[in-house]
Amino acid sequence: DQQVKQNSPSLSVQEGRISILNCDYTNSMFDYFLWYKKYPAEGPTFLISISSIKDKNEDGRFTVFLNKSAKHLSLHIVPSQPGDSAVYFCAASARRDDMRFGAGTRLTVKP
Amino acid sequence: DAGVIQSPRHEVTEMGQEVTLRCKPISGHNSLFWYRQTMMRGLELLIYFNNNVPIDDSGMPEDRFSAKMPNASFSTLKIQPSEPRDSAVYFCASSPTGGRPDTQYFGPGTRLTVL
């Protein structure tokens, strides 16, 4: 049962433009949401997170938006850079130690 | 800090063979997680330990899979017998006890191929 879904397996954008990665979840008990970035041959690394008490969290070029009523979150990268090309995983947690991940979206930023 | 260490990095085996994946968590971290990444399902949590005790193994797919953490610095994930559908990348991650999920640090993974 996929509780966290990333319906777009891939996304391609031009350098300098905005990248928007989407994620949907089904479990209303999730109260903490995260985005991880993964380069080839490496493990995922934490990128940004948001608590369910907020609807937006910003860190430099990265902003995560949370819409609890729609059970939807998105990651915005502005401006996109070629070094942002990676697989991005959305994750959600209902308790401190346990995360459920989506299938990932491969982002390609073209120079 | 060496980070989370996993071995081997690549494993190719034949169906029916036993496979053992190894993980050394970051020193001082008390929680350890095993994940499996596949194209279809992305990253799936298989099992996690807190202070060497298995807390949730509901993600372990079958009895063919078993995991142990004999001490705070070592864990194994064993598949016996292995099947082609077990082919995936297996990640180990560790975090401080009681830490938020964003404190999980992942190892580089073991790519398993079962022929």
Average pLDDT estimate for B39-55: 88
Q: Is residue B76 classed exposed, middle or buried when 0-12, 13-18 and 19+ CB atoms within 10 A define those classes?
A: middle
Position A94 scores a pLDDT of: 86
In this predicted model, what pLDDT tens digit does every residue of A38-94 receive, in sequence order? Answer: 999 899 999 999 999 999 999 999 999 999 999 999 999 999 999 999 999 999 998
- Asked whether the beta carbons of residue B98 and residue A44 sit closer than 8 angstroms, the reply is no
Contacts of B42 in chain A (CB under 8 A): 6, 89, 101-104
Give yes or no for B90 touching A (CB within 8 A). no
Burial per residue of A25-51, b for 16 or more beta-carbon CB atoms within 10 angstroms, e otherwise:
beeeebebbbbbbbeeeebbebbbbbe
Cα–Cα separations (whole angstroms), residue B5 to A31, A51, A98, B19: 30, 30, 21, 17
In this predicted model, what pLDDT tens digit does every residue of A95-110 receive, in sequence order? Answer: 766 788 999 999 999 9
Position A96 scores a pLDDT of: 60
pLDDT at B1 over 80: no
Considering CB atoms only, which of B40, B45, B98 is closest to A98? Answer: B45
Residue B46's pLDDT band (boundaries 50, 70, 90)? very high
* 3-class DSSP assignment, residue B103: helix
Position A99 scores a pLDDT of: 83
Report d(CA A55, CA B57) in Å as an integer.
Answer: 32
Average pLDDT estimate for B89-101: 83
Contacts of A34 in chain B (CB under 8 A): 101-102
